Amino acid sequence: MALTKIQLLVLAAALINISLFCKIGSADEDGPETGDVPQTGGGQEFDPAQIVAKALLCFNDNYVYSSCQASYRLNESGDLNVPKEKTDEFCNGACLTETHLVLNCVDHILNNFIFYNKATVRDVRDTIHAGCGYGPERGDFNVAEHMAVTSEAHKAANYQIIVGFILMVLGNGSLF
């Protein structure tokens, strides 16, 4: 059975689209180190309320947050209240380091922790990266706004995946 040029073009377009816009099975670069703290349960019995309570203690640990001004600290709600004029102080001082320590603490205890504002640890990290960067988002530490912008990007990426899948199905259907 020979394939026509059109069938090959459709198949090639579908494969290129999927390879460019679909992320399959990648490891998280900031992945949790399990240690002796349960990540998702495992073979032992763990009380979910205890695990969440332990993760929430990361925000109140005086050993983690010791130098950062209290008003600039990340809290359980997922908010970072850093005024734009204090960006350099936050990004070049102890606050940035201590905030990452808190995020690591939470992530190591419960790797799918969700803040009260529905943000993930990754959302907060991305907001900090953008807020401390030197692009147009410098000084903007509004996690909720950052989540809304990135969710639009995910919708566009999902659209590309759907288009690729449709092309693949149509290409595959025309092969036979």
Percent of the chain with pLDDT over 90: 27
76 assigned to some structural domain: yes
User: Rounded distance, CA 122 to CA 63, Å?
Assistant: 23
Does this model's pTM top 0.85? My answer is: no
Q: Check residue 168 and give its pLDDT.
A: 66
Q: Which domain holds residue 74?
A: 36-142
What's the mean pLDDT when you consider all of the chain?
73
- Is residue 104 packed enough to be buried (19+ CB in 10 Å), middle (13-18) or exposed (0-12)? middle
Q: Check residue 26 and give its pLDDT.
A: 39
Structure confidence at residue 11 as a pLDDT band (50, 70, 90): low
Q: Check residue 127 and give its pLDDT.
A: 94
pLDDT in tens, 83-133: 999 999 999 999 999 999 999 988 888 888 888 888 999 999 999 999 999
Tokens 């377009």 map to which residue? 13
Q: Check residue 138 and give its pLDDT.
A: 94
For residue 46, CA distances in Å to 38, 62, 108, 128, 161 come to: 8, 26, 15, 32, 38
Enter the DSSP assignment of 117: T
Structure confidence at residue 68 as a pLDDT band (50, 70, 90): confident
23 assigned to some structural domain: no
101 assigned to some structural domain: yes
57 assigned to some structural domain: yes
Select from 119, 73, 117 the least CA-distant residue to 94. 73
Query: Which residues, in sequence order, are bridge partners of residue 120?
Result: 114
138 assigned to some structural domain: yes
162 assigned to some structural domain: no
Number of domains in the chain: 1
50 assigned to some structural domain: yes
3 assigned to some structural domain: no
Q: Which residues contact 82 (CB under 8 A, 6 or more apart)?
A: 72, 90, 95, 131, 139, 141
- As given in the structure block, the two tokens for residue 157 are 């990426």
Structure confidence at residue 149 as a pLDDT band (50, 70, 90): low
